[in-house]
Amino acid sequence: EAQVTQNPRYLITVTGKKLTVTCSQNMNHEYMSWYRQDPGLGLRQIYYSMNVEVTDKGDVPEGYKVSRKEKRNFPLILESPSPNQTSLYFCASSFGTGHQPQHFGDGTRLSIL
Amino acid sequence: AQKVTQAQTEISVVEKEDVTLDCVYETRDTTYYLFWYKQPPSGELVFLIRRNSFDEQNEISGRYSWNFQKSTSSFNFTITASQVVDSAVYFCALRSVAGGTSYGKLTFGQGTILTVHP
């Protein structure tokens, strides 16, 4: 089954404790992206990657890191999480950057205390 | 920079009413794609439709229809004879493919919460 898998689905942690949210897709998609969803703000793009070893900042990259060492994986790293990073996070992937719609994971709800 | 505005934060209708969700976008590029996604209460994001900047034909899919007007930079979504199952958050999104600093970025609007009452 074609899917984008994020883990964990829920996480409560404390300020400053490094965490990684994994994202994996099995569709051989070149393009992968991370978004955060906050009430009233919609989805905002954090980072995106157009292929292996190619990443670029989205609209809200501060406090986040990503890597794309393999085509299927695109982990989101919070080196020193802070409460303002409490949010619902989505990973997405697609073929290319044009007309193809993105396939989204089920979301990861992060709470930073 | 590109921007998508969904001015309607929340809409509440009674079943069988028609409802239109507005989407206005800004981009300097001439080549771009517009999308609508649905987020039901279960939380997943479901792709509904895409439209490229060169195709202003309106589209109808069952009870759903989309009106793309380049002259007003709008891509509105209408649900005819709404049903309770249409209750969801709806997002409009813009992707530029013309190069420059926005290349590859997908920009979403703030979303419109639609509640359909029985």
pLDDT digit string (tens) for B23-47?
Answer: 999 998 888 899 999 999 999 999 9
Q: What is the mean pLDDT of residues A4-27?
A: 96
Nearest CA to CA, how far is A106 from chain B (Å)?
Answer: 5
Q: What is the mean pLDDT of residues B76-81?
A: 96
Work out the number of other CB atoms within 10 angstroms of the CB of residue B36. 23
Residue of chain B minimizing CA distance to A108:
B43
Q: Among residues of chain B, what percentage have pLDDT more than 90?
A: 71
d(CA B14, CA B3): 31
Q: How confident is the model at residue B103 (pLDDT cuts 50, 70, 90)?
A: low
Is the pLDDT at B101 greater than 70? The verdict is: no
Q: Which residues of chain B lie closer than 8 angstroms to A59, CB-CB?
A: 105, 107
- Asked if the C-beta of B38 comes within 8 angstroms of chain A's C-beta atoms, the answer is no
Cα separations in angstroms, B12 against A39, A41, B83: 18, 20, 12
Q: Which residues of chain B lie closer than 8 angstroms to A92, CB-CB?
A: 45
pLDDT digits 0-9 by tens, B44-76? 999 999 888 888 888 888 999 999 999 999 999
- Asked if the C-beta of B50 comes within 8 angstroms of chain A's C-beta atoms, the answer is yes
